[in-house]
Each structure stands twice: as structure tokens, then as C-alpha cells.
A and B are shown apart, each in its own frame.
Chain A
């Protein structure tokens, strides 16, 4: 079955960077965009950006521009999201999600990874 499996929880200090991985299985990885969405504890969902695994093209939400980088390794069907200059406000669960139709064309996210908790604390 189609599945996205993310890397484990991370604890980082303010100012550091974090890199979360998302390994895809059950479909051809390069066929569909991977999006990243985060959720702070008790809060709603916030979209961070998308990445096309075939071309490597990406697009980011304005508030993360300059701080986020989305990449991939097609040989191991894995997408990555790296967020730099972390602050306590970045403490959240980070999800990857496949977009069967690109988000910019009204696409939806299905399935989602299990989530990766990133805690930023001094």
C-alpha cells in the first residue's frame, strides 16, 4: 500500500537546523509532489511548501522563504525538509504528504506520513 514513513523525533537548540526525511513506498516516487505541513501542539495545520521529486522543483510558503529547503533522493525514494534558524516557535509536528494532484491545481494530500516531532529548546 502507499505509505510515507518519516524519521524520528528531534530535539534542537535555538539557531540550529533540522532535516526531516520522508520515505515513500507503494508507488513510483517521482510521479507525485510531496508537500510538507506542520502542526504546533494544540494548533491547526500550516502548509510549508511542495517539492516535485521528478524535477526537484520546489515552492515554499512566504513565511518560510529563505529558511526552508525541500530536496529528494530518488534512488531511495526519500524526500527531505530542512528548516534552519530554529526558534521555539518552530516546535511542532512536521508531516509530509503526497499530492496526487499538485496543490496549485486544487490538489489534495493523501496519504500523510506519521509525523515527526521537532522540539526546539535551549
Chain B
């Protein structure tokens, strides 16, 4: 059972905008920054969004992050087939004294 809660799956059609939610608590998302990672099955995770809504170089601006209270969201606009992957949210947890991850959301592009 992951500390951060994500929907196990999400889907959309090419060109569509989708969001993936990440729910936490006051000890993690509520008081710390949120980061998002993308993982193509069989490969290592890659940083997608850091400090809520910053993108590393090379990540297109179709990807954006936001936070409200103890929840965060990842939005992907102009969905493309290559966006199919698993997406994980993460945040430091003050109670557990370490970063915690969501269980991951498998994105399917129909």
C-alpha cells in the first residue's frame, strides 16, 4: 500500500488532455514539494516534473504539474502515443523521514 494514492490506470486518445491525480496528507504533499517520474516498462524511471511544475530540459511543455492542499496533479496535453508509460508522483514525508511514492498510474493512449 503506497503512502501517496494514484489511480492505477488512465487513458486518452491522441491530442486529448488528461490529468493524473496524486493524493497525500499534511505530512507529505501538504508541506513539501511534489515530483513526477515517468517509467517506460523495462527501463529506469526518468524525471518528468520537479518542484511542483518545473520541467527538466528536454521535457516538452505539454507536461505540467500542480498542487492544491494535500493533492497534486500531472496534466498532459496533446497526448501522443509515445506518452504511454507508468507515471509516479513523489514527495518527502516528514513523519516517515523519507520520500514516498505513489503506486503509479499506467497511461494508455487509445
Contacts and interface: CB of A to CB of B under 8 A. Distances in A.
Q: Which range contains the number of A residues in contact with the other chain?
A: 20 to 34
Interface stretch (A7-15, A44-52, A66-74): A44-52
Contact of B104 (A37, A44, A95, A109): A44
A46 B103 CA distance: 10
Contacts, number: 63
A44 B102 CA distance: 7
Interface in B27-69: 32-33, 35, 37, 43-47, 50-51, 56
Interface stretch (A24-32, A80-88, A112-120): A112-120
Given A45-B101, A62-B96, A110-B47, 11 more contacts: A44-B88, A44-B102, A44-B103, A45-B37, A104-B92, A108-B47, A109-B45, A110-B50, A110-B56, A114-B43, A114-B44
29 contacts: A35-B99, A37-B45, A44-B88, A44-B102, A44-B103, A44-B104, A45-B37, A47-B98, A47-B99, A59-B97, A61-B98, A62-B96, A62-B98, A97-B45, A103-B92, A105-B92, A106-B32, A106-B92, A108-B35, A108-B47, A108-B50, A108-B51, A109-B35, A109-B37, A109-B45, A109-B47, A111-B47, A112-B46, A114-B43
Interface of B: 2, 32-33, 35, 37, 43-47, 50-51, 56, 88, 90-92, 96-104
